[in-house]
């Protein structure tokens, strides 16, 4: 069962019915305002993720529906259901948001090769047995303090590797600000960075950028690949 908490009551749904209700709500809210809308559901919570393409504006409009608060805000619009009285109220607010985006009030996210490369680097270091970490204060703040590569498994004897690649660090900050990467607390002092649902969906839906990435990777013509720091130290 999935619980959706509004400001004055809690509603319970089976997972199947919840997805149908939310899909119908988003289709109504975006009707006539977008050229494409893709909706994704969390397998572990009530969260809904939406990626919209507007009719005449380049880029993606990203927004989500959740019942919990974000640890670190990003440019992704979050509709916290606890701020609304019912589904109709939520639907109206989402439609107003999309109308305002069409009027240019909100900047759309332009997914380019640099974004793709940054996300792939985070995925690749995981395949190499490492994770990207920083302090909780740095993550919640400016993201200008040190960021390290450390082994994922506890007890592995390997010195932390300080990330020094400025190209990657600049990409990481942008990816966090845009909601494609987030930090998850691993203890009371540190967070690890991970690719979000938005990040994975945009990675998998941009075939032209993916082909460009593979071509440039083959010809050693990519910058900001921090996985190379690990390969150089092992």
Q: Could you read off the pLDDT of 66-116 as tens digits, one per residue?
A: 988 888 889 999 999 999 999 999 999 999 999 999 999 998 999 999 999
Q: Could you read off the pLDDT of 149-178 as tens digits, one per residue?
A: 999 887 666 788 999 999 999 999 999 999
Burial of 47 (0-12, 13-18, 19+ CB in 10 A): middle
Percent of the chain with pLDDT over 70: 97
Residue 232: predicted pLDDT: 59
pLDDT band, very low/low/confident/very high, at 229 (cuts 50, 70, 90): confident
pLDDT over 60 at 213, yes or no: yes
Report the C-alpha gap between 119 and 104 in whole angstroms: 27
Distance, C-alpha 46 to centroid of its chain: 16
Non-local (6+) Cβ contacts of 155 within 8 A are none
Q: Which of 39, 71, 69 is nearest to 193 (CA)?
A: 71
pLDDT over 80 at 200, yes or no: yes
Determine if the pTM surpasses 0.85.
Answer: yes
pLDDT over 90 at 230, yes or no: no
Q: Could you read off the pLDDT of 127-153 as tens digits, one per residue?
A: 999 999 999 999 999 999 999 999 988
């Amino acid at each position: 069962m999935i619980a959706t908490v509004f400001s004055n009551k809690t509603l319970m749904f089976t997972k199947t019915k919840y997805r149908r209700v939310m899909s119908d709500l988003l289709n109504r809210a975006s009707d006539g305002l977008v050229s494409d809308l893709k909706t994704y559901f969390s397998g572990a919570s009530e969260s809904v993720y939406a990626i919209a393409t507007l009719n005449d504006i380049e880029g993606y409009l990203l927004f989500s529906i959740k019942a919990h608060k974000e640890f670190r805000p990003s440019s992704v619009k979050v509709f916290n259901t606890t701020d609304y009285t019912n589904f109709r109220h939520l639907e109206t607010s989402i439609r107003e948001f999309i109308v305002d985006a069409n009027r240019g009030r909100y900047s759309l996210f332009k997914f380019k090769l640099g974004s793709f490369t940054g996300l792939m680097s985070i995925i690749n270091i995981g395949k190499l047995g490492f994770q990207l970490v920083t302090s909780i204060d740095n993550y919640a703040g400016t993201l200008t303090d040190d960021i390290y590569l450390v082994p994922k498994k506890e007890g592995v004897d390997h010195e932390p590797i300080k990330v020094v690649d400025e190209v990657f660090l600049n990409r990481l900050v942008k990816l966090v600000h845009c909601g494609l990467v987030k930090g998850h607390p691993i203890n009371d002092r540190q967070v690890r960075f991970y690719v979000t649902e938005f990040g994975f969906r945009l990675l998998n839906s941009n075939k032209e950028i993916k082909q460009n990435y593979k071509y440039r990777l083959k010809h050693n013509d990519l910058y900001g690949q921090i996985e190379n720091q690990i390969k150089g130290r092992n």
